[in-house]
Amino acid sequence: MVLALGLLVSSCELEDNIDPKAATVVPEEVLMTNALRYGLSLIDDMNQNRNVSRFLCQYSSQVQYTDPSRYQFSDRQIPDGYWNNSYLTLRDFMEIRMLLEGYPEGTTEFNQEIANKLATIDIMEVLIYQNLVDYFGDVPYTEALGGFDAKTPAYDDARTIYDDLQTRLTSDIAILAAGGACWGPEDVVYGGDVAMWKAFAATLKMRMAMRLADVAPDKAQSELTAGINAGPLAAGQAMQLPWVGVSPHVNTIYDVFILSNRNDYAPSKTIIDMMLALNDARTPAFFTQVDTSTEVGVEKWVYNGLAYGLVANSGYSQISHFSDEMFMADFPATFACNAEVEFMLAEAAARGMTVTGSAQEHYEAGIAESHAFWGVELDPAYLANADVAYDAARAKELIGTQKWLALYNRGNEGYAVWRSFDWPVLAEAEDMTYEDIPARFPFPYNEPSLNFDSYTAAAAAIGGDDVRTLLFWDETIGTQTPSAGF
């Protein structure tokens, strides 16, 4: 019996039994392109089965199938979708890492190129883990990606993960600072520009530092200073995924509305009403108008957002839509920008942390940069508006609200802004209370059956696997009367 099995295995290894059309080795360049696109598209995704962050921060409302916007995640197992796809992408980056680390030592230039490539991979891994932690809290980290040898990984403490991610970014920045060659066109973000990857890493370091401002101010200061000294994204710079514009490599709004022929989402009344009240010049860059006239031959064009968290379906034709630009197949996805940098510096200055420049200077620079980013001219009168003009007593309210506006269409970060600032004040979903707004995602619904012991320990460690359990960096639960100042 053993002999027969041996003959069978041997026969499968004959050359004439190999499919010549099947790839046996995939180049790291191909894997890099796919991993970049897949990992970033997940963070940008607006598919209600994978990423509902635009709903959680009320950039968008649901026209139909409104359960996710009412925080009912179990039917679609939404946390499972985001979690599983994140770890699949991390696994892809691990495969690239193993291929690169398998190269023998070469010239100094060759070794630096490999180091640079590994650093960019590491930065992407840090970004994915940062988003996982900011969604769930504790997650598998040190025992993650073990495959069949580690099918029940332990969850690591979220703060400990954050600290390690910062250490990794410090190393990546030091490597990239040396310059040298890197990826080529397979790097669909920066084309192998190590200076830009370094700037993004510095921005990411600042982002994670400011998450700690309430709970670990000394650590926040030191990491913020390191990020500033490394040189974050400057005016006009961003970290973006520029879509090709040909399916499947298309903007998520184009994918959902055009390719899938769906009209499931619309801009929320929350953000449209706020921008109208502020007379915000970015409004037409974000949204379209709709004719609300009931008279034949008479037009009445207005911005009309969809009320958030409705129980029943709503009509799509009587509400504003995303702007025409945002419907373009090649509309880029954004993951960091200089406006975010300026608002982080504004917050730091308002908190009394050590930065160059005043809170007001950085706050107004952030507003100006956001307008420029969206191709809109900033009216100086906007900065004098009573609900925009900088006031130290209202610093938390003003910076939080303007940062939330500036990060429009970036759901993951918009959701994090609301939780860290408690501003702006969001709308209550229909027949629900403000306290129902989640402070985190629940762990995947299949974890109790697949990884019971680790799941149980993690749930206990964070204070219960509940959407109202605060993350380690979030000190206060959302309220309709948040503090206006820090």
Q: What pLDDT, in 10s, does the model give residues 413-449?
A: 999 999 999 999 999 999 999 999 999 999 999 999 9
The residue that leads in pLDDT, 295 or 93, is 93
So what's the pLDDT on residue 1? 38
Mean pLDDT of 120-128: 98
So what's the pLDDT on residue 25? 65
Q: Is the pLDDT of residue 140 over 60?
A: yes
pLDDT in tens, 255-313: 999 999 999 999 999 999 999 999 999 999 999 999 988 888 888 899 999 999 999 98
Name the percent of the chain lying above pLDDT 70: 95
Q: Is the pLDDT of residue 139 over 70?
A: yes
Classify residue 296 as left (phi > 0), alpha (psi -120 to 50) or beta. beta
Q: Whole-angstrom Cα distance, residue 46 to residue 268?
A: 14
Q: Is the pLDDT of residue 20 over 80?
A: no
Q: Whole-angstrom Cα distance, residue 261 to residue 255?
A: 8
* CB neighbour list of residue 427: distance below 8 Å, 6 or more residues apart: 58, 268, 269, 270, 307, 308, 309
Q: Are 384 and 426 in contact (CB under 8 A)?
A: no
**How many CA atoms are closer than 13 Å to the CA of 422, on its beta-carbon side?**
21
pLDDT band, residue 389 (cuts 50/70/90): very high
Q: Whole-angstrom Cα distance, residue 176 to residue 394?
A: 39
* E strand map for 168-324: 238-241, 265-267, 290-291, 301-302
Classify residue 354 as left (phi > 0), alpha (psi -120 to 50) or beta. beta
So what's the pLDDT on residue 17? 54
Q: Is the pLDDT of residue 94 over 70?
A: yes
Residue length, the chain?
486
Angle, helix 395-406 to helix 269-278, in steps of 10 degrees:
110
DSSP letter at 235 equals: T
Q: Kindly state the tokens that stand for 215.
A: 């709970």
Q: Which residues pair with 241 in a beta bridge?
A: 333
Q: Whole-angstrom Cα distance, residue 82 to residue 132?
A: 8
Which domains can be identified in the chain, with CATH numbers? 256-326 (no CATH), 336-424 (1.20.120.840)
Q: Which residues pair with 266 in a beta bridge?
A: 61
pLDDT in tens, 56-76: 999 999 998 999 999 999 999
So what's the pLDDT on residue 6? 39
* CB neighbour list of residue 73: distance below 8 Å, 6 or more residues apart: 52, 79, 441, 442
pLDDT in tens, 158-179: 999 999 999 999 999 999 999 9
Mean pLDDT of 188-202: 98
**Long-range contacts (CB closer than 8 Å, 24 or more residues apart) made by 427-433:** 427/58, 427/268, 427/269, 427/270, 427/307, 427/308, 427/309, 428/309, 429/69, 429/70, 429/71, 429/308, 429/309, 429/310, 430/70, 430/307, 430/309, 430/310, 430/311, 431/311, 432/70, 432/71, 432/309
So what's the pLDDT on residue 18? 55
Q: What is the mean pLDDT of the chain?
A: 94
**What pTM did the predictor assign?**
0.94
Neighbours of 380 (CB within 10 A): 8
Mean pLDDT of 326-344: 98
Q: Whole-angstrom Cα distance, residue 473 to residue 216?
A: 9
So what's the pLDDT on residue 298? 87
Mean pLDDT of 234-238: 98
Angle, helix 359-373 to helix 338-350, in steps of 10 degrees:
160
So what's the pLDDT on residue 8? 36
52 by Cβ neighbours in 10 Å (0-12 / 13-18 / 19+) ranks as: buried
So what's the pLDDT on residue 299? 87
